[in-house]
C-alpha cells in the first residue's frame, strides 16, 4: 500500500470516528442551554455557517443567522424556520464597523445579550489566481479584522452563566504558526507569534500590515511568507493568534462571567467557497464548531481544534 492509499485509509477511519461521535446526543452531557439561549453565527446564509446555524438550532437554541446579503439571509432563515427551528435573520457586514455596531444594538434591544458567538464570515483563497493587493486586503480585512471587530463589540453582550459564554472562530490549518508546511520563514517572527507570554494585538496587526504593504510593492514572495494561498493563510494566522490572545485576556474573569475562546479548522469542504472541490460535506465540517459551542464538561479556552481534537497552533 502506497502513502496516498494509507493517508486515504486514515482519513476514512477518522471520518468514521467522527460520525460515531456525532451520534452521541448532547443530552448525555450537562445540558446548559434552552430556547432562551442565544447564538450568533456570522456569514451563515450558506455553506459551513448555514450548517452551524442548523445544527445549533436543532439542539433547541435560538440562533441569529447573520449575513451581509439580506435577500440570501432571509431566504436561508426561512428555510430553517420551515423546519421548526428558532432562527432569526439579521443583516451584518463584518467589513463595516457601523454595521457591526448597529447589529450589536439590535441584539441588546431584542435579546439583552448572547451566549454563543461563532465567527464564520470570511473570504476564501482565490483559486487559480495570483496574489493581488486588492484581493489580499479583502481577505485580511474580512477574515482577521472582521472577526476581531465583531468580537470586540460583542464581548460586552456576552451573558454571564455558570458554564461561561463561548466564542468560536472558524479558522484553518493553513494559518498555523508552526505547521510543518506553509509556515513563516522568519524564525524570529514565528517565535514572537508563538510566545503567548509576550503576544500582543500590536504584534499581530503589525505582521499583517507588513504583509499587505509588501503585497502592494511586490516584495512579498521573497519575504518568507507562506507560499500556499498566502493571503488566506496569513489572515487565518491572525485569527489563530488573536484567539489565543483573547483567551488569555479573558481568562481572569471571575466564575460565572467566563468567556471561552477557541478556533477550529473545518477541513477541505465542498462549498461554493472552494469551488465544490472539497472532500467533506458542510454538515461534517460544522460538527466541531457546534461541539465547541455546546460543550459543557471541561470547557477549553485558547485552543485550536479539528475533528473534535486539539491540534497545535
Q: Give the pLDDT score at 127.
A: 52
What's the predicted TM-score (pTM) here? 0.91
- Chain-centroid distance of CA 217 in Å reads 30
Catalytic (active site) residue 145: no
Cβ-based neighbour number of residue 306 at 10 Å:
17
Gyration radius from the chain CA atoms: 19
- pLDDT digit string, tens, across residues 161-188: 999 999 999 999 999 998 877 889 899 9
How does 229-251 read in b/e, with b if 16+ C-beta sit within 10 Å? bbbbbbbbbbbbbbbbbbbeebe
pLDDT (average), residues 149-160:
98
Pick among 3.10.129.10, 3.40.50.720, 3.40.50.300, 3.30.1540.20: CATH of 27-127+142-177+232-311:
3.40.50.720
Cell numbers of 47, please? 455553506
Q: Give the pLDDT score at 174.
A: 94
Percent of the chain with pLDDT over 90: 78
pLDDT (average), residues 193-202:
97
Q: Which residue from 136, 133, 126 is spatially nearest to 216, judged by alpha carbons?
A: 133
pLDDT (average), residues 60-67:
98
Q: Distance (Å, rounded) from C-alpha 59 to C-alpha 74? A: 21
Q: What is the pLDDT of the chain when averaged over all its residues?
A: 91
Q: Are 41 and 56 in contact (CB under 8 A)?
A: yes
**3-class SS letters over 201-221:** HHHHHHHHHHHHHHHHHCCHH
- pLDDT digit string, tens, across residues 8-26: 777 677 666 666 666 555 5
Structural domain spans, the chain: 27-127+142-177+232-311
Q: Give the pLDDT score at 14.
A: 65
Q: Which residue from 85, 281, 288, 18 is spatially nearest to 169, judged by alpha carbons?
A: 288
CA 299, 37, 263, 197 torsion: positive or negative? negative
Q: Give the pLDDT score at 10.
A: 72
Among 145, 232, 242, 260, the active-site one is 232
- Is residue 121 predicted with pLDDT exceeding 90? yes
Q: Are 273 and 234 in contact (CB under 8 A)?
A: no
Q: Distance (Å, rounded) from C-alpha 157 to C-alpha 155? A: 5
3-state secondary structure of 9: helix
Percent of the chain with pLDDT over 70: 88
Q: Distance (Å, rounded) from C-alpha 193 to C-alpha 156? A: 27
Backbone angle region of 41, left / alpha / beta, with phi > 0 → left and psi within -120 to 50 → alpha: beta
Backbone angle region of 114, left / alpha / beta, with phi > 0 → left and psi within -120 to 50 → alpha: beta
- pLDDT digit string, tens, across residues 271-283: 555 555 566 899 9
Amino acid at each position: 500500500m502506497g502513502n496516498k492509499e494509507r493517508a486515504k485509509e486514515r482519513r476514512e477511519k477518522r471520518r468514521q470516528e467522527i460520525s460515531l461521535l456525532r451520534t452521541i446526543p448532547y443530552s448525555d452531557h450537562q445540558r446548559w442551554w434552552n430556547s432562551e439561549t442565544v447564538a450568533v453565527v456570522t456569514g451563515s446564509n450558506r455553506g459551513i455557517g448555514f450548517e452551524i446555524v442548523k445544527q445549533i438550532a436543532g439542539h433547541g437554541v435560538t440562533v441569529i443567522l447573520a449575513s451581509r446579503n439580506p435577500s440570501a439571509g432571509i431566504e436561508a432563515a426561512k428555510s430553517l424556520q420551515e423546519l421548526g427551528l428558532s432562527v432569526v435573520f439579521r443583516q451584518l457586514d463584518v467589513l463595516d464597523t457601523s454595521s457591526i455596531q448597529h447589529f450589536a444594538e439590535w441584539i441588546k434591544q431584542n435579546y439583552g445579550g448572547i451566549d454563543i458567538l461563532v465567527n464564520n464570515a470570511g473570504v476564501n483563497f482565490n483559486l487559480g489566481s495570483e496574489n493581488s493587493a486588492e484581493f489580499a486586503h479583502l481577505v485580511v480585512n474580512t477574515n482577521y479584522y472582521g472577526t476581531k471587530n465583531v468580537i470586540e463589540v460583542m464581548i460586552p453582550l456576552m451573558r454571564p452563566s455558570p458554564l461561561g459564554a463561548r466564542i468560536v472562530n472558524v479558522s484553518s490549518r493553513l494559518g498555523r504558526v508552526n505547521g510543518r508546511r506553509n509556515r513563516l520563514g522568519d524564525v524570529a517572527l514565528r517565535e514572537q507569534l508563538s510566545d503567548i507570554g509576550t503576544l500582543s494585538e500590536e504584534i499581530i496587526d503589525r505582521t499583517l500590515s507588513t504583509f499587505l504593504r509588501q503585497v502592494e510593492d511586490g516584495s512579498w514572495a521573497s519575504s518568507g511568507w507562506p507560499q500556499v494561498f498566502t493571503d488566506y493563510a496569513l489572515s487565518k494566522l491572525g485569527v489563530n493568534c488573536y484567539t489565543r490572545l483573547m483567551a488569555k485576556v479573558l481568562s481572569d474573569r471571575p466564575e460565572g462571567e467566563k468567556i471561552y475562546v477557541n478556533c477550529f479548522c473545518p477541513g477541505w469542504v465542498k462549498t461554493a467557497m472552494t469551488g465544490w472541490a472539497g472532500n467533506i460535506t458542510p454538515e461534517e465540517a460544522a460538527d466541531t464548531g457546534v461541539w465547541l459551542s455546546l460543550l459543557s464538561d471541561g470547557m477549553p479556552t485558547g485552543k485550536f481544534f479539528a475533528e473534535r481534537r486539539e491540534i497545535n497552533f
